[in-house]
Amino acid sequence: MAPSKVVLRFPAAIADKPIIFHLVRDFDLMINILKANINPHKEGTMVLDVAGENVIEGLEFLRRQGVTVQPLTEEIVRNEERCTHCGACTAICPSGALYIERPAMLVCFDSEACVLCQLCVRACPVRAMEVRI
Amino acid sequence: MRGAERQVKKRRISLPDKTFQEINAKIKAGKAVVVTAEELIQLVAEKGVGRAAREVDVVTTGTFAPMCSSGAYFNFGHSAPRIKFHRLWLNGVPAYAGLAAVDAFLGATALPDEDPLNMNHPGEFRYGGGHVIEEFVAGKPIRLKATGYGTDCYPRREIETVITLGDLNEAVLFNPRNAYQNYACAVNTGPRTLYTYMGVLRPHSGNAHFSTSAQLSPLLKDPYFRTIGVGTRIFLGGGTGYVVHHGTQHFPGIPSLPADAPRIPSGGTLAVIGDLKRMSPQWLRGTSMLGYGATLSVGVGVPIPLLNEEICYYASRPDSDLYAPVIDFAEDYPNRRPGKLGMISYAELKSGRITLQGKEVPTAPLSSYSKAREICGILKEWIASGKFLLGEPVTLLPGPDAGIIPKTLEDRGPERRNG
Ligand code: SF4
Ligand code: SF4
């Protein structure tokens, strides 16, 4: 069974190509965009709900285009005890879910905005960002 | 000399310097006026340098960030029969045992022998010396494994046991280089993501990382080392520590800056020491820099006595007057080439966006400003309540006038000829 919910990561070089259009048209899929953070010339992320007969082929097509495809089965949480509010994750997080509140300079985590790319999980120096399955 | 500095020098003549003894007497009497560096900035903006210098006795500064060149030494006591450590591991992390039979030094960046390192780049470096120190301080049990070669007086050849901090005779945090005065703002103009000690740097200047608490940062607030020296008592890892020397790579010289910027030095450092048993894991945090290595995040706070107006002037410089050099980690830094991207103020860096070569770049700190502020507050409370006296330096640290020139490691091949 192919996963119905997937997290896609688009490298900057292909962020402005009509990839999702081709996914829908060429593979006859129904998609529901749950979250998206796509900007021209920048790395982007998207959480998709995909349905149809050719889901596996469609996801394979995405991978061939250079898109990273991960099943959406997890949740990202912050260990509040460990977080030192350093800020190291804030310029890496592609969705703006991790951001600095000024002037307090405290780091906030908005899990609603998180697109589960997991970049922060390894980039956080004190391992405060955790994957919860 | 620039306007503001000249003014300070002139006015200084009329005001006699306060002394450490006078301020300590006030602290003991509970009468010392202590403010944080943030509060001093506000006060000077309202009342001017002269009045602030007269009214305030001590300003507290602080920083909390990953600090390599940290570590701890221990004395483990003797086993029966005795062993002389030849090799030693604490939770699998090797410690340096070449000191004495049961003394050892554990460095923050030490890694387990079996760590995959960067074989699968970028390596995660989930556990290292810094993490062992954090767990020690948290009171957790630590696995000790040691081997010896056996002597007539130390016959044992192997030991495996479990220890906690309380079991040790001495456990002393000793950091040869902490509290870096100033730090680069790191960017990556190259085409691929870089994993550095300055964090994950995205390609094509996708982000910029900086790492000081700037207007709270201890050595940026006493840039001429008028008050900080050997014997300065400090906040260290949640306990009390001391400055014991200038740190390694202590380069307090002054780089060239934008025309209207006050002169600030580049990179003085502190060597500090303190009793690990009195510290807290909240202020000593094992740290992993993706693709780079493990280290320790350390909380350091330094009190600066406002002995005169000049000291007060420098201690009151805000973020907008303090600058970081912008360094490209794609080519310049790894090859030790001088940077050519200029200087940028901490006010701009802290705003979250800078403009670099015409491009807008998001910025982020690696140094926790909110924790630095907390340290300033704790130290202020310690001093104001009379339980923390200033340590008068036996000798001040070398400042910008000492003419220290950075030395480099030259690749001369294995044989060095004289002349
Ligand atoms: S990098 Fe980690 S410790 Fe730093 S602010 Fe982000 S979550 Fe907190
Ligand atoms: S996983 Fe982390 S980096 Fe990715 S969007 Fe969520 S918070 Fe941001």
Cβ contact B364–A87 (<8 Å): yes
Residues contacting residue B275 through CB under 8 Å, at least 6 positions apart: B171, B172, B173, B239, B240
pLDDT at B418 over 90: no
Q: Is residue B57 part of a domain?
A: no
* Contact: B199, A119; criterion CB under 8 Å: no
The preferred substitution site among A115, A130, A131 for testing ligand 2, maximizing ligand atoms within 8 Å of CB, is A115
Instruction: Provide the residue type at A32 as one letter.
Output: N
A128 inside 8 A of chain B by CB: no
CA distance B123 to chain A (A): 10
Q: What is the per-residue pLDDT for B419?
A: 52
CA atoms within 13 A on the CB side of B182: 28
Is residue A48 less than 8 Å (CB to CB) from chain B?
Answer: no
The burial of A84, by beta-carbon neighbours within 10 Å (0-12 exposed, 13-18 middle, 19 or more buried), is given as buried
Which atom of ligand 2 lies nearest, measured to the CA of A76? Answer: 1
Ligand 2 touching residue A83 (CB < 6 A): no
User: How does residue B166 score in pLDDT terms, banded at 50, 70 and 90?
Assistant: very high
Q: Residue with structure tokens 């007269």?
A: B54
Ligand 1 centre distance from Cα of residue B217 (Å): 20
Classified as helix, coil or strand, B313 is helix
Q: What is the pLDDT of residue A1?
A: 45
What is the mean pLDDT of the segment spanning B102-110?
98
User: Which one of A86, A89, A131 would you mutate to disrupt binding with B, by most B Cβ within 10 Å of its Cβ?
Assistant: A86
Which residues have a Cβ under 8 Å from the Cβ of B119 and sit 6 or more positions away?
Answer: none
* pLDDT number for residue B14: 52
Residue A125 has pLDDT above 80, yes or no: yes
Q: Average model confidence (pLDDT) for chain B?
A: 93
B122 assigned to some structural domain: yes
B362 and A88 within 8 Å at the Cβ level: the answer is no
Question: What are the start-end ranges of the E strands in chain A?
Answer: 5-10, 30-37, 44-51, 68-71, 75-78, 98-101, 106-109, 129-132
| Banded pLDDT at B12 (limits 50, 70, 90) | very low
If you average pLDDT over residues B165-171, what whole number do you get? 98
Position B211 scores a pLDDT of 94
What is the predicted pLDDT for the residue at A12?
83
Inform me whether the pLDDT recorded for A53 exceeds 70. Answer: yes
Q: At B256, which amino acid appears? A: S
**Are residues A125 and B365, on separate chains, in Cβ contact within 8 Å?**
no
d(CA A11, CA A7): 13
CA distances from B37 to A106, B297, B301 (A): 18, 21, 11
Cis peptide before B122 (omega within 30 of 0): yes
pLDDT of residue B105: 98
- Work out the angle between the directed axes of helices A19-27 and A55-64 (0-180°, nearest 10): 150
| Strand pairing class (A44-51; A30-37) | antiparallel
Domain total of chain B: 1
For the domain spanning A5-71, the CATH number is 3.30.70.260
Classify domain A75-132 at the CATH topology level: Alpha-Beta Plaits (3.30.70)
Domains of chain A by residue range = 5-71, 75-132
Which atom in ligand 1 lies closest to the alpha carbon of residue A78? 7
B79 vs B92: CA distance, rounded Å: 20
Search chain B and give the residue with CA nearest A12: B203
Distance between CA B9 and CA B49 in Å, rounded? Answer: 12
**Is any Cβ of chain B less than 8 angstroms from the Cβ of A132?**
no
Average pLDDT, chain A: 88
Put simply, the answer to whether B352 touches A100 (Cβ < 8 Å) is: yes
- Residue A3: per-residue pLDDT: 57
Q: Which residue of B64, B126, B352 is in closest CB contact with A84?
A: B64
| pLDDT band, very low/low/confident/very high, at A35 (cuts 50, 70, 90) | confident
Confidence tier at A96 by pLDDT (50, 70, 90): very high
pLDDT value at residue A75: 87
Average pLDDT value for residue range B107-130:
96
Which tops the pLDDT comparison, B14 or B189? B189
Angstrom distance (rounded) from CA A44 to CA B39: 42
Pick from A42, A43, A126: which is nearest to B287 by CB?
A126
Residue A25, H or E segment: helix A19-27
Instruction: Give the whole-angstrom CA distance, residue B376 versus residue B318.
Output: 15
Residue B398 near residue B241 (C-beta atoms within 8 A): no
What residues line ligand 1, using a CB cutoff of 6 Å? A 78, 83-89, 98, 107, 124-126, 128-129
* pLDDT value for B24: 98
State the smallest CA–CA distance between residue A56 and chain B in angstroms.
Answer: 28
Instruction: Give the tens place of pLDDT for each residue, B220-230.
Output: 999 999 999 99
Distance between Cα B220 and ligand 1 center (Å): 24
Using most ligand atoms within 8 A of CB, pick from A117, A124, A130, A132 the residue to mutate for ligand 2.
Answer: A117
Whether pLDDT at B191 is above 60: yes
Express each pLDDT in B299-346 by its tens digit.
Answer: 999 999 999 999 999 999 999 999 998 999 998 889 888 777 888 999
pLDDT at B266 over 80: no
Instruction: Tell me: pLDDT of B263 over 70.
Output: no
pLDDT in tens, B231-260: 999 999 999 999 999 999 999 887 666 666
Q: Does A71 touch chain B (CB under 8 A)?
A: no
- For chain B, the farthest-separated pair of C-alpha atoms sits apart, in whole angstroms, at 72
Q: Which of B177-181, B264-268, B292-296 has the lowest mean pLDDT?
A: B264-268
Active site residues of B: 153
- Please give, rounded to a whole number of angstroms, the shortest distance from the CA of B242 to a CA of chain A: 24
Q: Which domain holds residue B85?
A: 71-171
CA triple A114-A118-A97, angle to 5 deg: 25
The mean per-residue pLDDT over the stretch B384-409 comes to 93
Ligand nearest to the CA of A35: 2
Average pLDDT on B154-179 reads 98
**Tens-place pLDDT, residues A4-19:** 788 888 888 887 788 8
Work out the percent of chain B whose per-residue pLDDT is above 70.
93
Element (H, E) at B233: strand B233-236
Ligand nearest to the CA of B371: 1
Which residues touch B229 (CB under 8 Å, ≥6 apart)? Answer: B243, B393, B394, B395, B396, B397
- Looking at residue A5, what is its pLDDT? 83
Cα–Cα distances in Å, from B226 out to A130, B37, B168, B229, B394?
Answer: 45, 16, 38, 8, 12
* Chain B contacts in chain A segment 76-115 (CB below 8 A): 82, 84-92, 100, 102, 104-106
Higher-confidence position of B404 and B5: B404
Give the distance from residue B190's alpha carbon to the nearest chain A alpha carbon, in angstroms. 14
Q: How distant is the alpha carbon of residue B255 from its chain centre? A: 20
Distance B211 CA to ligand 2 centre (A): 22
Q: How many CB atoms lie within 10 A of CB B283?
A: 24
Q: Looking at this predicted complex, what is its ipTM?
A: 0.89
At residue B257, the pLDDT reads 64
